[in-house]
Amino acid sequence: MINSHIPVLLNEVLEELDIKKDGIYVDLTLGRAGHSKEILKKITTGKLISFDKDQEAINESNQILKQINNNYILIKSDFRFAKAKLAEIGITKVDGILADFGVSSPQLDNANRGFSYSQDCDLDMRMDQDNHLKASDIINTYSSNEIERILIENADVKFANQIAKAICENRPINTSFELNELLKQTLPAKILREKNPSKAVFQALRIAVNDELNAIKDFLEDACSLLKPSSKMLFITFHSKEDVIIKKFFQNLVYQDPKLNKLPIQIKREWKQKIIFPSETETQENKRSRSAKLRVITRLE
């Protein structure tokens, strides 16, 4: 069954990409083809190449995209390897790159995948089912210090030290509800009233299982060399940890030493950046979009 999934900031993405019929575009995070299918509709002689680690996403998206046209290639791979994978099919330059770093709704809704803290499920959280590391492995085998580091580095989890110690003292913990209950027993009532702590803890574990932040950093090292002049990279982020990586990368690209402005010749800028937020209408219609940011960088030369 093909699950419904509402792509975030879709209109803004399409406007920024300004898709050419003969262009080559890359969607680093295929998901259920929410963005990919709309990009593909605008391509007639060009090509869309979409990546995903999740074979279910590849299979379901293929059913969607083949109804539009055949100007696409789906690649099962971590997007950190995108440059090498593109080179394998003869592509070294592209007209646009998109990544939506959110977890797709079908992944969250499927209890068998173990992403959700609102359903009782095994602590899995693997986007790539060929990956051997599960969230339960981290919970049940990592040291208290390692778990604390994961909680802090990936989600700024409050009381990370206490949570890590409680996990190690109460192992084995194999299901989402077991972990939820442990958090309720461990944390102060005030913290529990302010916000559900499971959200941040599950985010931290998911990022660790899938090595998400390092994947972003690895891709960014290759990203600039892929872009043609006047082409753009678009990144949709949902939490501060991934957003700060993109933000700093963009800032480093656009930075120009103020001393250059004093030179008698004008130094051309190579990059420009912008940030776009969801409209009020979108945030009302799609709650998932409320924390989203679209960061765009354009190669000028």
Q: Is residue 127 part of a domain?
A: yes
> Does residue 5 have a known ligand-binding role?
no
Residues 186 and 132 in one domain: yes
Rounded-to-integer distance, Cα 283 and Cα 109, Å: 20
Q: Does residue 2 lie in a domain region?
A: no
Range of the domain at 155: 114-210
Asked which of 210, 240, 266 is the last residue of a domain, the reply is 210
Contact of 92 with 226, CB cutoff 8 Å = yes
Do residues 169 and 127 share a domain?
A: yes
pLDDT at position 2: 44
230 and 173 fall within a common domain: no
Do 175 and 216 lie in one domain? The reply is no
How far is 67 from 33, CA to CA, in rounded Å? 12
**How many angstroms separate the CA atoms of 196 and 117, rounded?**
10
79 among annotated binding-site residues: yes
Domain of 150, CATH number, reads 1.10.150.170
| One domain, residues 202 and 216 | no
- Asked whether 71 and 44 are in contact (CB, 8 A), the reply is yes
Residue 109 lies in a domain: no
107 belongs to an annotated ligand binding site: yes
**293-299/227-237 β-pairing:** antiparallel
The CA–CA distances, whole Å, from 114 to 57, 89, 121, 228 equal 16, 34, 5, 39
Amino acid sitting at position 80: R
Walk along the chain (301 residues) and give the pLDDT tens digit of each residue: 444 568 999 999 999 999 999 999 999 999 999 999 999 999 999 999 999 999 999 999 999 999 999 999 999 999 999 999 999 999 999 999 999 999 887 787 788 898 989 999 999 999 999 999 999 999 999 999 999 999 999 999 999 999 999 999 999 999 999 999 999 999 999 999 998 999 999 999 999 999 999 999 999 999 999 999 999 999 999 999 999 999 999 999 998 655 555 555 556 678 999 999 999 999 999 998 999 999 999 999 7
Is 31 annotated in a binding site? The answer is: no
CA-angle at 2, arms to 23 and 21, nearest 5°: 10
Q: Is 117 helix (H, G, I), strand (E, B) or coil?
A: coil
Q: Which of 290, 300, 278, 281 has its CA nearest to residue 13?
A: 278
Rounded Cα distance between 301 and 289, Å, is 32
In a domain, 222, yes or no: yes
What's the CA gap between 296 and 12, in Å, rounded?
10
In a domain, residue 138? The reply is yes
Rounded Cα–Cα distance for residues 261 and 274 (Å): 22
Domain CATH number, residue 216 = 3.40.50.150
Do 237 and 293 touch, CB atoms closer than 8 A? yes
**Same-domain status, 124 and 165:** yes
Does 96 share its domain with 139? no
User: Burial level of 283, CB count in 10 A (0-12/13-18/19+)?
Assistant: middle
CA distance 60 to 62: 5
- Indicate whether 106 belongs to any domain: no
Amino acid 17 reads L
Instruction: Tell me, yes or no, whether 38 and 183 share the same domain.
Output: no
Q: Do the domain assignments include residue 96?
A: yes
95: nearest Cα among 294, 232, 203, 198: 232
Q: How many domains does the chain have?
A: 2
33 annotated as a binding-site residue: yes
| pLDDT for residue 263 | 54
